[in-house]
Chain A
Amino acid sequence: MSSDLQRSPRFETPPTRRDVLGLASIWSACVALGVAILGALRLPMPSVFPESNSRVKLGPLGQFVGVPVTAVPEHRLWVFADQAGLYAISAVCTHLGCIVARSEEGFHCPCHGSRFDAQGNVIGGPAPKPLAYLQLTVSPDGQLVVDKETEVSAETRLQV
């Protein structure tokens, strides 16, 4: 057998029917397996995310109006009030998601040392972006509502 092969190189003999069918079956099995694996790889990416609604009521509006700063740690944000109105700044660091704390100059992050001024602009450290301003609205029952996933520009104020 082996001496036959040595004498006649593979390219010069036409492939036998057995070879063709065998290779075809192997390759079709491989393709089927590959497609099945690709399909299975779709599984880990959820199509519905488990989070609750990103819009949450923070409390009666009056509680925030005129108070310079109100911390809302359970939703990781602060509500500030100035002459123009209310605005909310997210406490989630834009670097790697730690929670910043307020400091004399503004905010600082305990994990990798990002520093922000009172308007949330980066003044030092690795953070790539200013802190996020979150959208504030008022619900029909007079409560302040924040949407934790909708960012607004830093000039936006909720007029009250």
Chain B
Amino acid sequence: MLFLLLVATGIPLMVYYKPSVDQAYDSMKEIQFIVPTGRFVRNVHRWAAHGMVVCVILHMARAFYTAAYKGERKFNWVVGMILFVLTLGLSFTGYLLPWDQLAFWAVTIGSEIAQSPRELTDALGITAWFDIGGFQKRLLLGANQVGQEGLIRFYVLHVMVLPLLMGIFLAVHFWRIRKDGGLTRPADADAIPDECAQSNGKGDAPESRPSRTYGLMAIVPGRTPAVDRSMANTIPTFPNVLYSIAALSMLTLAVMLALGYFFDAPLKEEANPAVPENPAKAPWYFLGLQELVSYSAFMGGVGIPFIVVLGLMLVPYLDRDPEDVGVWFGGRRGKRVTLLTAFFAAVVVISMLIFTVQYGWLRNWYPRIPQIIITFVNPGTVMVVAFAAWSLFITKYTNSTRMGALAVFTCFLVAFVILTYFASVHRGPNWNFYWSQSDWPVH
């Protein structure tokens, strides 16, 4: 639904937007102040984008904690991860287009992250022959510096390539839900003791139970009893699902329109290639990454995200226990593991942050230390290793890969939330630590 809304608001915006370095910012002003309803449409577009990121993350958490990635749904979980990455890609390419200060420096940083494998190749001394970083950056920007070519490329990605991919993968995602969920297969539907599985929520629900996976359509997917109930109906599914989707869509639309009406999407000063903002912060969903990038460009921007996405994609292939499908947290033991892991992850992340803020990191103690050591040993990688070790320990200790998987995912979620919070609230000018924005120095 949000995706449809984004398409619906995106097309009118395309009519006025001019993807040119000289005119992009002016056309944003035009949309904002001259075009009839332009401001409203842009606001809704922005809010829907934020909403989509939120929903994708919540939906992912829901799907994970109810073990909706097992058995036949393995592949659909992978598709879901691809959609997650595409959503972030669309958001990123989207906020570059206004060509304001945020946009310009985001493009700069983004393309430099693409170039950051040089951190490794430089350390190995092979950049001259094998410059994958430089290749990626030039491919993205079509140039060596951020400029017109780069803007056009991101524009093409945002309005054409990524939405197309998104549409294709969404179609696959929804098709797999039906195919895997047994919604259309009477054999399965007959086998489901839906009412009892549904009523106590922890009965041994058969594997073939509908995944209750509603893709990106539900605004708060975990808490939409209407959807669950209608899915559990074995016979006349269609009108019920249709009604609940319609109701959710109306609700989503209403919320987005209200947000768009009352809250303006930000537009900063025109891009100034000579002076970045201070602090130069990304939108909230990338702030966790920005914090990681402030330890090491390559690890924070490429290495750790790659490990996390790959790791989460592989979870269904590592955790093959057919148990607990459709049960929140996999019963009481799972709940304990989840809580314990959340506590552990929070302690690890917070203590790493406190340590780093208080004492700095290797570069502050040994200014001449080779970069490759920092690339591999920085607060971000330490956290990843701690989480991996913890999950392995849980897997061994409980002798259940499902518990290990719960631990992995909980660690990811907790770290994401804390890092995002920390970077948005406690990072100020020069990326220094401040308790609140009111402590920032006046300049």
Taking beta carbons and an 8 Å cutoff, which residues of A are in contact with B? 44-46, 49-51, 73-74, 76, 95-99, 101, 108-113, 121-126, 128-129
Contact = CB atoms under 8 A, between A and B. Distances in A.
Given A96-B109, A128-B119, A44 B364 contact: no
B274 A97 contact: no
Contact of A122 (B367, B378, B432): B367
Contact of A125 (B111, B145, B363, B371): B363
Nearest to B274: A73
Given A50-B142, A112-B431, A125-B294, 7 more contacts: A45-B139, A49-B138, A96-B297, A97-B111, A122-B367, A125-B363, A129-B371
A96 B108 contact: yes
A46 B363 contact: no
B290 interface: yes
27 contacts: A44-B142, A44-B153, A46-B149, A49-B143, A50-B142, A50-B143, A50-B147, A51-B147, A76-B273, A76-B274, A95-B297, A96-B116, A96-B293, A98-B108, A98-B280, A109-B430, A109-B431, A110-B276, A110-B430, A111-B279, A112-B293, A121-B367, A125-B294, A126-B363, A126-B378, A128-B122, A129-B122
Given A124-B360, A124-B363, A129-B371, A111 B113 contact: no
Given A111-B276, A123-B363, A128 B297 contact: yes
Interface in B136-165: 138-139, 142-145, 147-149, 153
Given A113-B294, A113-B430, A113-B432, A50 B148 contact: yes
Interface centre among B274, B296, B301, B429 (most CB of A within 10 A): B274
A99 B112 CA distance: 13
Contacts of A101: 278
B214 interface: no
B142 A74 contact: no
Contacts of B276: 98-99, 110-111
Contact of B138 (A46, A113, A123, A129): A46
Nearest to B107: A97
Interface centre among B143, B278, B294, B374 (most CB of A within 10 A): B294
A128 B144 CA distance: 20
B381 to A, nearest CB: 13
B144 A51 contact: yes
A74 B109 CA distance: 19
Contacts of B65: none
Contact of B431 (A74, A76, A110, A129): A110
A74 B367 contact: no
Interface string B83-122: 0000000000000000000000100110111001001001
B143 A126 contact: no
Contacts of A124: 360, 363-364
For chain A, what secondary structure do more than half of its interface residues adopt (helix, strand, loop), or is it mixed? loop
A110 B108 contact: no
B275 interface: yes
B112 A97 contact: yes
Nearest to B116: A96
B329 interface: no
B277 interface: yes
A126 B138 contact: no
B295 interface: yes
Interface string B350-374: 0000000000100110010001001
Contacts of A123: 363-364, 367
B113 A108 contact: no
A110 B105 CA distance: 11
A96 B302 CA distance: 13
Interface in B269-313: 273-280, 290, 293-297, 300-301
A126 to B, nearest CB: 5
A128 B378 CA distance: 13
Of all A-B residue pairs in the complex, the 7 with the closest CB atoms, nearest first, are: A113-B431, A110-B278, A112-B294, A96-B112, A97-B112, A73-B274, A128-B371
Contacts of A113: 294, 430-432
A45 B143 CA distance: 9
A95 B378 CA distance: 15
B209 to A, nearest CB: 34
Contacts of B296: 126
Contact of B293 (A44, A74, A126): A126
Contact of B363 (A49, A74, A122): A122
Contacts of B275: 73, 99
A45 B153 CA distance: 11
Nearest to A111: B280
Contact of B143 (A51, A74, A97, A125): A51
Interface in B335-391: 360, 363-364, 367, 371, 374-375, 378
A137 B148 CA distance: 30
A92 to B, nearest CB: 9
Contacts of B145: 51
B273 to A, nearest CB: 8
A99 B275 CA distance: 6
Contacts of A109: 430-431
B28 to A, nearest CB: 23
Contact of B149 (A50, A74, A111): A50
A98 B142 CA distance: 19
Contact of A45 (B138, B294, B297): B138
Nearest to A72: B274
Nearest to B111: A97
Nearest to B296: A126
